[in-house]
């Protein structure tokens, strides 16, 4: 247990000290959302209707920007070899590193979304559901990204391949995420069924994705 | 005191990229014995060490632990110091070592003596990114002292080390062996350690 906490604490410290990954993700999120209205024109009704979709798509892309770092640094400097000889099973190591990615990327992105919603004329009554849907859906984003990160370990320009591998897997998260947030805007449908589906997707990813990532890591270490 | 365990390897083979690196290799190490793995580049020294650490699958053969508990796992009995130092440049020297100590389940009180083992005590608060290659190597070797593990796997441990540090390394291995530990060292350079066995790869001869 203390080994797991030590690893989580180290990963959080490293991303805080190095800062680049989180800062880039947040900056990318801001830029994508800020330029979208410029491309669509000043139709406030249109913007309000599509705001949840734009915020969700931008969040997925921003989260993927830092995804290749989940294992890359530890692989490059040999720390992954040592983690494997430690007391934790490899799937647990993958899970902890995915959790750290969620804490430093998914959570800040979800909390930044309401502010960026202002740029898109997002109705105020949709904000709580939007943030809730993102907090419920982003664990799936980070844990599935870990599968892609472990599969592309050791490749050059792995970020692009990672996006190709992982983005299709985000389709259910995107659909249910947007459905949850839109329920408050477009009306009478209840937001709870899609929100519960999002929770289910996240829980399933938390359980299954580390197993897949661990299998890919084993191959990468050979 | 580390556990007193013995390690035997039977008929090991290693295959990399379809090519057989070595085959039918065996050795038996009693507690307190060391094995020097020698051989030309590409003979499979690193592969052998990674097999012991559980990082590389065995193409054939097996490892047997002697005198270990029933649920002992070979990789968890090993300290592996490979070519890469696993040093995080944005953490301080002490933080680097403290993480590994905590991760391997050691008391945090062991960090200071482990740092002192290779004379890194005065550098404890320095960011590890500022260390020289030799100092980073010493930091990686200091990990050996955070937790007691009976098997040391050292892959070219003398890389970048100065003469004074080589003497410390020799002494460290000697103390480890005297306490009943096992060391498997892959090295080109003659260390002063008394190796009970010598395995020359690329010629498939054990003496």
What are the respective helix, strand and coil percentages of chain A, to the nearest 5? 85, 0, 15
- Of the candidates B160, B205, B151, the one whose C-alpha atom is nearest the C-alpha of residue B183 is B151
Residues of A in contact with B153 (CB under 8 A): none
Q: What pLDDT score does A2 carry?
A: 87
Q: Which of B103, B128, B133, B156 to mutate to test the interface with A (most CBs of A within 10 A)?
A: B103
Q: Angle B133-142/B163-178 helices, nearest 10 degrees?
A: 10
> pLDDT, tens digit, for every residue of A92-140?
999 999 999 999 999 999 999 999 999 999 999 899 999 999 999 999 9
Question: For the residues A153-175, what does the mean pLDDT come to?
Answer: 91
The residue of chain A with its CA nearest to that of B82 is A78
Per the CB < 8 A criterion, the answer to whether A100 and A8 are in contact is yes
Q: Which of the four pLDDT bands, split at 50, 70 and 90, describes residue A149? A: very high
Q: Which of B84, B87, B128, B129 to mutate to test the interface with A (most CBs of A within 10 A)?
A: B84
Per the CB < 8 A criterion, the answer to whether A134 and A113 are in contact is yes
CB of A78 within 8 Å of any CB in chain B?
yes
Question: For the residues A169-195, what does the mean pLDDT come to?
Answer: 90
CB of A4 within 8 Å of any CB in chain B?
no
CA torsion sign, B133 to B134 to B139 to B143? positive
Q: What pLDDT score does B203 carry?
A: 63
Number of neighbouring beta carbons within 10 Å of residue B130: 12
Three-state DSSP at B173 gives: helix
Per the CB < 8 A criterion, the answer to whether B14 and B48 are in contact is yes
Block mean pLDDT (10 aa), chain B, length 207: 80 88 90 90 89 91 86 88 92 93 87 88 91 93 90 91 90 92 87 81 58
> pLDDT, tens digit, for every residue of A36-81?
999 988 889 999 989 999 999 999 999 998 888 899 999 999 999 9
Backbone angles phi, psi at A94, to 5 degrees: -60, -40
The residue of chain B with its CA nearest to that of A80 is B86
Segment (H or E) for A147: helix A127-151
Number of neighbouring beta carbons within 10 Å of residue B97: 28
Residues A183 and A114: their CA atoms lie apart, in Å, by 16
Cβ-defined contact of A14 to B84 (cutoff 8 Å) = no
Cβ-defined contact of B104 to A3 (cutoff 8 Å) = yes
Cα A208 to Cα A60, A204, B146, distances in angstroms: 20, 6, 34
Q: What pLDDT score does B205 carry?
A: 44
Residues A191 and A199: their CA atoms lie apart, in Å, by 13
CA torsion sign, B62 to B68 to B73 to B77? negative
Cβ-defined contact of A7 to B103 (cutoff 8 Å) = yes
Cβ-defined contact of B55 to A222 (cutoff 8 Å) = yes
Cβ-defined contact of A14 to B99 (cutoff 8 Å) = no
Beta-bridge mates of residue A200: none
Q: What pLDDT score does A18 carry?
A: 83
């Amino acid at each position: 247990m203390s080994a797991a906490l030590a690893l989580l604490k180290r990963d959080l410290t490293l991303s805080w000290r190095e800062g680049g990954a989180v800062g880039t993700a947040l900056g990318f999120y801001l830029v994508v959302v800020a330029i979208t209205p410029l491309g669509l024109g000043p139709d406030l009704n249109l913007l309000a209707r599509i705001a949840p979709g734009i915020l969700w798509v931008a969040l997925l892309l921003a989260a993927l920007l830092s995804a290749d770092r989940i294992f890359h640094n530890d692989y490059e400097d040999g720390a992954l070899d040592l983690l494997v000889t430690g007391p934790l099973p490899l799937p647990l190591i993958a899970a902890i590193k995915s959790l750290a990615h969620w804490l430093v990327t998914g959570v800040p992105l979800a909390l930044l979304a309401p502010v960026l919603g202002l740029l898109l004329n997002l109705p105020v009554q949709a904000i709580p559901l939007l943030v809730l849907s993102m907090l419920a859906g982003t664990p799936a984003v980070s844990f599935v990204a870990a599968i892609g990160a472990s599969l592309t370990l050791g490749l050059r320009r792995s970020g692009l391949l990672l996006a190709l591998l992982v983005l299709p897997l985000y389709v259910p998260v995107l659909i249910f995420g947007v459905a949850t947030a839109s329920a408050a805007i477009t009306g009478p449908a209840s937001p709870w069924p899609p929100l519960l589906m999002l929770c289910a997707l996240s829980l399933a990813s938390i359980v299954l994705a580390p197993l897949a990532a661990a299998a890919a890591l084993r191959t990468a270490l050979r | 005191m580390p556990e007193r365990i013995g390690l035997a390897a039977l008929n090991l083979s290693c295959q990399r990229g379809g090519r057989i690196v070595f085959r039918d290799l065996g050795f038996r190490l009693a507690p307190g014995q060391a094995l020097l793995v020698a051989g030309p580049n590409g003979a499979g020294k690193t592969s052998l060490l990674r097999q012991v650490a559980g990082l590389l699958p065995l193409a054939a053969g097996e490892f047997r632990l002697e005198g270990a508990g029933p649920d002992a796992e070979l990789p968890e009995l090993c300290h592996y110091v490979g070519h890469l130092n696993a040093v995080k440049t944005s953490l301080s020297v002490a933080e680097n070592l403290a993480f590994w100590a905590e991760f391997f389940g050691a008391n945090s009180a062991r960090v200071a003596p482990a740092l002192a083992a290779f004379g890194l005590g005065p550098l404890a608060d320095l960011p590890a990114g500022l260390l020289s290659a030799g100092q980073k190597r010493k930091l990686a070797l200091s990990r050996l002292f955070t937790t007691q593990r009976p098997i040391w796997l050292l892959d070219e441990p003398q890389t970048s080390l100065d003469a004074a540090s080589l003497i410390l390394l020799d002494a460290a291995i000697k103390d480890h062996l005297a306490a009943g530990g096992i060391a498997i060292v892959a090295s080109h350079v003659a260390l002063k350690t008394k190796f009970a066995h010598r395995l020359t790869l690329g010629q498939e001869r054990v003496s």
